[in-house]
Structure 1
C-alpha cells in the first residue's frame, strides 16, 4: 500500500513538473503507463540537471578512486599552468589528506602575482599545522586577518603558539573560540590547554557550559556531539 501511494505521489509530481516545464507530450505517456520506472527515468533525466548528475558522478568516482581526481587535475596543470589550476590540484591533495603535496602546490600558487592571496595563505596555515611545522603556521597566520576573515584558523594559530612556548599569546587566541552553542571541538581543546596551564577552574567552567548546552539539545543534535560529551564528562571527573 505504501509503494502504491508513493508511486501516485511520484506521478503527480512528475506530471506537474512536466506541465510546468513544458516537457514533450511523450513524457506523460511514460509517466502514466510505466508508473514507478517512468517517474524515476523522468526525475533523473529531466528534474536533476546535468550539473547535479556530473557532480554526483564525480563524487562517487572520487570515493571509489580518490587518486583519479588528482591525476586529472595534474594533467590540467600541465596543459594550463595557472594560479587556479595549482589551487585546484592543491585542494584535491588536501581532500585526500596529502598535506605535503597540498603545501607544495599552494606554495607554487603564491608565486608571482598571487603571493599575498589570503585564501591560499589560510589553506597553508591548516596544512602546515597538520605537518607540525608550527613556525610556518605562525608566520602565515600573521600575514592574514584571521580575526575577521578566517576565524577557523585561530584554533591552529593558538595551538601553534603553545607549541613554541608562547603561552600567553596562545591563550589570547584560543579563548576567541569560546563561543556558546558552537565550536565544541575547539572549546574542548581550549579546556585541555587551560588544564595544561594549571588553570583547572577556568577549564571546568568551559566544560560545564559545554555539557549543559549539549545535554539541552534535541536528541538528533545531541547525537552529533555524543563523543565530545563523553570526553567532557571524563575530564570533569578527573579534575
Structure 2
C-alpha cells in the first residue's frame, strides 16, 4: 500500500513537472502506462540532472500534502519570528490561494523596519485584488514603482481603478499591458474593459492582433492559449 501511494505521488509530480517544463508528449504515456519505471526514467533523465534530490522530495510532498509546507513554515515562524519567516509563510499561503491569510502575514512583515519594503507591498497588491479590496490595491500600488519594477501589478492596479470609477486613469494603466506576443490574459481583459467603455473598435484591434498571433504559434504554444483564442473569437463574433 505504501508503494502504491509513493507511485501515485511520483506520477503526479512527473506529470506536473512535464507540463510545467513543456516536455515531449510521449513522456505522459511513459509516466501513465509504466507508473514506477516510467517515473524513475523521467526523474533520471529530465529532473535529477536539473535540480537536487531535496528539491524533488519537497515538491512531491507539497503536491501530495499542500498544507504540510504551511505547517512547517508556521513552526519555523514560532521558532524564529523574523521578517523572512513571515514572508515565507505569506508566500506559501499565496501559493495555496489563501489570500486572507497571506495578507495577514505580509502585513505583519511590514511592521517595524520593513514598512516600505516594495516586494512585500507588491504581493499585497495581488492579494488585496483577489479579495476585492480595491482601495488597498490602489493605496499600495501608489507606494511602489510598478512601471519600473513590478509591471505585473499594473493589471491589478488598472482594474482596481476601474472598480473605483477612475476610468480614464484605468485605461492609461491597462494600455501598458497591451504588448504584442505576450500578456494574453491581461490583453483579453483590457479588450473587455474597452468594450465596457464602448470603445469597440479599439477592442477589436487588440482581439484581432491576439487572434493572429496565437493562430501563427506552434501547435504546442497554440494549445496553451486555446482558451484565449476561443474567447477572443467569441468577442469578435458575438
Q: Same fold (TM over 0.5)?
A: yes
Aligned to 2:146: 146
Which structure 2 residues correspond to residues 37-116 of structure 1 after superposition, within 5 A? 48=48, 52-116=52-116
> What corresponds to 2:155 in structure 1?
155
Q: Partner residue of 2:129?
A: 129
- Cα offsets for 1:186-225 (capped at 9, x unmatched): 0000000000000000000100011011111111211111
Give me the whole-angstrom Cα distance separating, in 2, the residues matched to 1:105 and 1:185. 28
> d(CA) in 1 for partners of 2:148 and 2:52?
33
Relative to the length of structure 1, the TM-score reads: 0.79
Q: Residues 50 and 221 from structure 1, CA distance in 2 versus in 1: closer, same or farther, beyond 3 angstroms? A: closer
Q: Which residue of 2 aligns with 1:213?
A: 213
Per-residue deviation at 1:69? 0.5
- In the other structure, the counterpart of 1:175 is 175
Could you tell me which residue of structure 2 aligns to residue 166 of structure 1?
Answer: 166
Aligned to 2:224: 224
In structure 2, the CA distance between the partners of 1:215 and 1:59, relative to structure 1 (3 Å rule), is same
Give the Å deviation of 1:131. 0.2
Q: Deviations over 1:87-145 (max 9, x none)?
A: 00000001110000000000000000111110000000000000000000000000000
User: Which stretch shows the higher mean deviation, 214-223 or 117-126?
Assistant: 214-223
| Counterpart-to-counterpart distance in 2, 1:87 and 1:63 | 21
Shift of 1:158: 0.1
Distance of 1:133 and 1:201 partners within structure 2: 31
Q: 1:48 deviation in Å?
A: 3.8
Q: Distance in 1 between matches of 2:80 and 2:50?
A: 25
Larger Rg: 1
- Where structure 1 has 5 or more consecutive residues not aligned to the other structure, the ranges are 1-36
Q: What's the counterpart of residue 234 of structure 1?
A: 234
1:67 CA drift (Å): 0.7
CA RMSD of aligned residues (A): 1.9
**Distance of aligned partners of 1:178 and 1:49 in 2 relative to their CA distance in 1, 3 Å threshold:** closer
